[in-house]
Amino acid sequence: MKRALWSVLLLTACGPATKFISAVLPVPLAPDVKLLADANRNGTLDWDDPTENTDKTTWDASHGAVMLANIDDDQHACVATRADGDLLPDTSLDDCNDAADTVINGKSDKLDLAPLAVHSWPYAPDGTTATLKVDTASLNKVHLFIERNGELVWFDTANDVISTEELRAGVNLAIEATDIVRDAAVWDGFVTVTLSAYGLTDAVKLRVAPVITQHHLAHEKQLYVTLFPQDADSAATRSTLTAGIDSAWGAGTAATLLTQINAYEDFGGYTYFDDQWTQDFFETAYMAMPTAQGLHVIDVFYRSANVYYPSTSANPLRDAGKVVFAHFRGPDAAAVQAFDIRHDQDMDSLNSFGNTETIPPYTLGNDSYPLGRVLRGKTATFYPDPVFTTMLESQGLQPPVYIDTSWLLVGHVDETLSFVKTSSPRGWALLVNDAALARQMLMDQVDAGHGDAVMFADQKWIDDNNHEYAAGITISDVLADTDVMTESNLSAAHVDSQLQIIKAATGLTEAEIIRVPYLHEPSYGYSLAYQPGTVNGLSLKEDAFAPPDPHGPLIDGKDLFKTQLEDALGAVGITVVWVEDWNLYHRLAGEVHCGTNSLREVGDARWWQSGR
């Protein structure tokens, strides 16, 4: 054996002739230039497992390693405020995260890295070194780390080498992406890492975890609502919402499950969170990577691309969106923003996340969408921020379905559509607004002699300055209102057009659609919910739905619209918990879903198995 080793060293001194060497030398002495990643996705590096150590540069549904964009803040090291207490400008808020530097930010941060390893080559000739390179497109998108003296330290691919001793002992490496995929045309998230030594190379291919938006069927980990202290209207909504959460999950649950974002939190004299549309200024999502301990998840909080101040380059975005950096970014929680300050202001409302929902998982023919599909309002001429849209589409996992919401005053998909869990084979049903049904229900009541029954009884239109006016109106008067009826007539057709697109995309049948009746009214040539839009609710647990109290007419002591929805949802096993939102939300063109948000559990589907 020693003789053989000396032969290698002599040959090495004359320069590498690796193919020749590997052909003539016994296996232990052959150059061993091997790089491994967790291609079989079991969280460990298995040198002897053919599912791990073959086809290392292919990446498909069954094979290929995964890494995370390590953009959380495991040590709460990122500071969102300035010395004067004000929050950092939008242009600086997203500068900080764990991948912004080249050090491992604590034990938790280490868990966010994907493992790589260089196999030990005990007989590596003296002076042999190795390099690690990443493909050109990924050059500034990843950091490599090498274990030295028991610590992971940054490996500068431009200058560093793996030493002979390290090669002989074998090397533990780790990799992080420094960002999510923003534009697949620029960087598609696939990274090839190449090990070179002794004239040999070996390579592995990894993919950065896409950011996956969450759908309504998953259990909620955290719910959110904006808190307006000392505001009776806010209290009314929050108390009924809290009761609903406790009803669904058990008494006292809301105390921990519901995060109340203080609208008046003071940042050096500024109250950025004074915005009750909690659904709109952030969207929850996640990235996931397999580990030996199971799935490792980083929650992602997208900040909305609403440009409220287009002439203010440092702080152009909707104020409340800063909350994703100020409060949500942290250990295993990342915050992301992307926007084009030049995007048409007339379309800005489409950037609110009431206009970004997720169709739950389904299969249609040969096409499977185990993570669902993004649902947004967007047409060729009326569309959300293209930069953000490109980022969403570039994740590649949840191909978007686009519907026309341009006829709505607010313009969000959550004004007319929602989803609830059912026990059907599909596992979910679509809730869809149906103005024709609302009209028919009211006409039936007129026929039954209840035309004088009052809708919106005890509700008011104005609550400031002691000016309050009864909102009550009889069924007959509603039906006689040509503005309401004409707008509702047209909205029935528009909603159906939305529905046709979703049906075509999902294969949804009529039996899987739950009609939710409410009328529309016009403003500025657009449409908005005349009655509280009861489709606009929050899914709780798997069997509860929290829509706004419709304040419908009482017929024989029962609210006509409550009864209808309770019956319709009860038929699929869903309990309705009513939330009071008239004053703070309905009167301002939104409802319960618009005023809440939810971070949900990651389901059983694994994105890397999706085939996308």
Partner 1 sequence: MDFGRLARRKASQGDGMRSPIFVVLFSLAASAQSFDRAALERSVKQARAESPDVFSRVKAVVTQADELQRRARGRLFPFPARFRAVTRKQPGAAFALAEPLFAPERFSMPVSPAARLGLRAGLVEAAGSLREPSLAPLYRSLLGDDEPYEVVRAAAEALAKLGAEEDLAMLARLATAEGPQQDAAISGLGGARTGKLAVTALAALAATPLEAPRAKLVAGSLARVAPGWGDDVPWRGDAAQAAVTLFVKSTSDEARAAASDAVMTIDAPQTPALISAARANATAEQRAALEALSERFAHNPTRSHR
Asked if 514 and 525 touch (Cβ cutoff 8 Å), the reply is: no
CB 413 within 8 A of CB 377: yes
* Positions 326 through 385 that interact with partner 1 (CB under 8 A): 344-349, 352, 354, 379-382
Cβ proximity to partner 1, 154 vs 382, nearer residue = 382
Phi, psi of 239 (to 5 degrees): -70, -40
* Binding test (CB under 8 A) with partner 1, winner from 485, 544, 568, 592: 485
Find how far residue 131's CA is from the centre of its chain: 37
Please state, as a whole number, how many other Cβ atoms lie within 10 Å of the Cβ of residue 198: 20
**Between 140 and 486, whose beta carbon lies closer to partner 1?**
486
Least distance to partner 1, CB of residue 318, Å: 8
Nearer to partner 1, 364 or 462 (CB): 462
DSSP of 434-468 = -HHHHHHHHHHHHHTT-TTPEETTT-BS--STT--
DSSP state of 209: P
Q: Give me the least distance between CB of 284 and partner 1, in Å please.
A: 19
Among 471, 514, 538, 576, which residue sits at the site for partner 1 (rule: CB under 8 A)?
Answer: 471
Q: How far is the CB of 264 from partner 1 (least distance, A)?
A: 14
Residue 492 contacts partner 1 per CB under 8 A: yes
SS (H, E, C) 99-128: CCCCCCCHHHHHHCCEEEEECCCCCCCCCC
Asked if 281 touches partner 1 (CB under 8 A), the answer is no
Q: Pick from 497, 509, 558, 601 the residue near partner 1 by CB under 8 A.
A: 497
Window 127 to 156, contacts with partner 1 (CB under 8 A): none
Residues 608, 566 contacting (CB under 8 angstroms): no
Dihedral, CA of residue 549, residue 551, residue 555 and residue 561, to nearest 10: -50
Q: Which of 410, 453, 475, 544 binds partner 1 (CB under 8 A)?
A: 410
Question: What residues between 375 and 404 interact with partner 1 by CB under 8 A?
Answer: 379-382, 404
Using the rule CB under 8 A, which residue among 434, 512, 559, 581 binds partner 1?
434
Shortest CB 305 distance to partner 1, Å: 14
Total site size for partner 1, rule CB under 8 A: 72
For the stretch 95-100, contacts whose Cβ atoms lie closer than 8 Å and that sit 24 or more positions apart, written own/partner, are: 97/70, 97/71, 97/72, 97/73, 97/329, 97/334, 97/335, 98/70, 98/71, 98/72, 98/73, 98/74, 98/176, 99/69, 99/70, 99/71, 99/143, 99/176, 99/177, 99/178, 99/179, 100/178
Fill in the per-residue mask, 292 to 331: x = in contact with partner 1 (CB under 8 A), - = not in contact.
---------------xxxxxx------x------------
Residues 22-61, interacting with partner 1 (CB under 8 A): none
Q: How far is the CB of 361 from partner 1 (least distance, A)?
A: 26
Site residues (CB under 8 A) for partner 1, limited to 517-576: 521-526, 528, 530
Q: Which of 40, 138, 276, 610 binds partner 1 (CB under 8 A)?
A: 276
Interacting span for partner 1 (CB under 8 A) from 122-130, 287-295, 360-368, 481-489: 481-489
Q: Which is nearer to partner 1, 134 or 432 (CB)?
A: 432
Neighbours of 435 (CB within 10 A): 29
Among 51, 256, 486, 509, binds partner 1 (CB under 8 A): 486
Name which position in 467, 511, 556, 557 contacts partner 1 (CB under 8 A): 467
Residue 425 is given by DSSP the state S
What's the angle, vertex CA 517, arms to CA 516 and CA 518, rounded to 5? 125
Q: Is 270 in the site for partner 1 (CB under 8 A)?
A: no
- Of the two residues 522 and 603, which places its CB atom closer to partner 1 in the complex? 522
Does residue 469 bind partner 1 (CB under 8 A)? yes
Interface segment toward partner 1; rule CB under 8 A; list 69-77, 169-177, 322-330, 492-500:
492-500
**Is the Cβ of residue 21 or residue 350 nearer to partner 1 in the bound state?**
350
Would you count residue 224 as binding partner 1 (CB under 8 A)? no
Single out the residue of 594, 570, 612 nearest to residue 361, CA to CA: 612
Residue 235 engages partner 1 in binding (rule: CB under 8 A): no
Q: Considering beta carbons, is residue 142 or 529 the nearer one to partner 1? A: 529
Count, residues in the chain: 612
Q: How far is the CB of 517 from partner 1 (least distance, A)?
A: 9
Does residue 230 belong to the site contacting partner 1 (CB under 8 A)? no
Among 432, 437, 570, 398, smallest CA distance to 508 is for 432
Tokens coding 406: 């341009």
